[in-house]
Structure 1
Amino acid sequence: MPTCTHSGCGQSFEDGANDAMACQFHTGKPEFHEGLKGWTCCKPRVLSFDEFMEIKGCQLGPHSSEPRHKDDPFKADLTKYDDVLPEPELAATAAATAAVVPVAPKAPAEEPLDNDPADAVVPVGAACKRNGCSAAYESDAASRGPEQCVFHPGRAVFHEGTKGWTCCKPRATDFDEFMRIAGCARAAHLFVGAQRAAQAQAQAVRCRRDYYQISGDVIVSIYAKKIDRTASSVAFDADAIRVHLVYGDGVVYDDTIRLYGEINKDASSFEYLSTKVEIKLAKTAPAPWPVLERDAA
């Protein structure tokens, strides 16, 4: 699958599923100034590079696989801010990186890795959160090997016009080259993380929902604002729908709705809107349903 080249995205995508709301990206340029990091197109400003990489895009649109032009201002604009050190502790470690072996079989023992819990629910397409890895979750069998992830266990260093990582030697002069520096350690992918999984479980809530019927369809609305489209999912079975929504500031809604009647799961669909997810269920029989869930009948 191609990988999206939009700033702030980097996800793999299928052409057939690349609709007008598939990509959440930044239209502006990176801005590193006086220790703060952000994008020229939106307001959030953060202190660390990890937080900068997690700033959600401010624009929705289809994914793109078009390469950036060599004179893309995305590159040039980074150079203006390279003279400002992002964190004092990163500058102090820059000189020490020369002694680091460039390829290590595992991350340093003194920096324990965060790992996904064995029972973590990972939506298809979720991106690995480890530095330098752009893998997307496909299935447990395909994406949960013990050393499938090649990543950087260290932190980003931007110093005197060069960019790199505290854990290995390579240095780059522009941001795109920096993002292509190969990882120097191996571990299992990190799609959720133990801490985030625990926080998500603690914040799990019930969302308001309603439904109505038109012709051969049942329309279900589940209300939630600022839905994270990359972390959320809706799956259809013949007699149930499974909903996983991440919205707001990481609040999680999980539900399995056991339907009154059967549906054609291939003809059913859903759409993320500004205040809700709207789910269209294609009934296999035209008779109206007295209730949405069979357990309530």
Structure 2
Amino acid sequence: MSHFCYNRGCQKKYTPTNDPAQDDTACQYHPGLPYFHDAYKIWSCCQKKSHDFGAFLSLPGCTRGPHQPTKPEEPVAPRATEQEQVVVPKPTIREETPKPRVPVIERPPMDAPLTKMKLTVSTSLQEALEKLAITPKVNTNQKEQFNDEVKPGTSCKHASCGVLYTTVDQEQATPCRFHPGVPIFHEGMKYWSCCQKKTTDFEAFTAQPGCSEGEHLWRVENESSKNEDDPQVLKTSCRYDFHQQGPSVVLSIYAKMPRPDQTQVELNAGRLKVDTRFGTATSTKRFFNEWELFGLIDVNQSTVELLQNIRRLFSLLLCCCSRQKQKRQIAQIILDDSRRTFIYSGIDALNITNSTSLIIADFGSSHGQNSIQTMKIIIEYLTKMNKLRGSPLIIHNDLPTNDWTRLFQLLAEDNSYRGLANGCSFYEECLPRNCLSIAFSSASLHMLSKKPCNINNHCYFHFANENEREIFKNQSKFDFNSFIKYRSQELQSGGILILNIPCVNENGEMGFNFYFDLIYKCAQLLTILTSQELIDFTIPFYLRSLSECIDLELFNRYSLILIKSELICLKSLIVDQYRHGQIRLDRFAKSLSMLMRPGTDLALKQALQINRRSSPDIERISTQFWSLFEEKNKSRAFSAAISA
């Protein structure tokens, strides 16, 4: 009679030979536990590791011993007493120790006064500024004379070209081979976004020849970036980022050599303003920006430090305070009953007979807020229905260009399950075959694998002509077939696929056409965009009808059975909150920009890359575009349209 071995790394069926000499060494397994660190999957017993999850699971065991026919016991929660079982015929609700009451700080009005912060200047910065004072000063307001002549020895500014300028004849004879995309570093891999040639070695990455050919770029003409009268230039003159550190939020501004006498930081519980000048002895820049803070802070506990540190040159520590989260956090998603019902229906149909732990994947996780909540709902219902075998493995999938840092931060903060990231297109094979228990995707399948054509008079398919719409429709059908094909191969027998696909109604409308029209109008208002860039700015979205989503012939071809389908009208949370006065117009405008930006911004940047814009120009134009979009959202005409 055959048995199943539960040893890690083995998990095969075997038949005992009743020969101790053979049975005692018949199993090759891992006695240790798997753990995940720095994009590696590692066995604690032998330290064998791999980037790829499928390869990790197939690593041969490091120890020999007898097979384990008995499934290891899972930790069991303490059982209720006999008296409790009689009196209360339902599970005991855990009582949490009440937390001390902390006064809730209300968000101040927009015109509330700001407190000027005291600056703490590090000793190393003071010494560096003293040395800088010895060097002769230069008039920072004097504009540099732009010289049209290229000096011999000047290197080409295109990525991976490296050719040095000598003469005009040499320039014409030597072609420029370069990478028009941006470098991406993800899960130990280095590659260019334009050609996707991946490597783990940094030197091999830098030595990759360019994938495009064109004219050399000997200088970057960016005179407009020196105009300190332009508010957008002041916001983008240096890089900055926010990150959480325990109960505090740290704003790091990477302004080298900030001048304490020309730096001013002001804030209140909900707003922050920074104005500083920084730079070398020969050239300085001004950085100025204002932020409406997402949460509320304690001004008295906040500090400002000016540092002479390569990693963080200007630090602002914002101490968070207690607040009513559910009323303030616009990004919080409440999963409505209709979508829960679909998840429950799918899990009810789950019928996997093997005893391995479940693997659940969300295809198109984006920044992770909605994805994490949905995964928790799935785990909760699996537990309730007694279908969970040990701890499940959760895989969050999205493109390599996704905001993975944000997703990892949210996973660390939530800490309710162990999750992995999978960076590839869900229109390709993402996981090993026959490994997946539950596949899920929400609000992602309207994004196409590529832009099938340009839309001449708009950026969104709804406003395209009949021929352009037909091309988008064909690309959508091809992508949907690819998605179904690869998910069916990855699913185990008895596994389930749950899809929440944005669709149009019987009139061909979805409700977001108004916002996409505003996006195109903002692009037209940006005079910095050329006419060709405006044509190339086409968003690769297509919203299917219900009949396009229900392809029974396709499902049957890949051995899938349709359990349930329905077209449901869902409310937009942020629009609903604004209409009911729960959020102000400025918060609504910011939240709407965050909602519309992910797919749209990528299309804008790709249009700029195609037309050989430099990376600094692309980031500057993108920031300028979304600032304009947010400002238009705050206008009275837009507010009236939303209210209607």
Same fold (TM over 0.5): no
The structure that has the greater radius of gyration is 2
| TM-score between the two structures when normalised by the length of structure 2 | 0.15
TM normalised by structure 1 equals 0.31
Higher relative contact order (CA 8 A, sep 6+): 1
Greater share of helix residues, 1 or 2?
A: 2
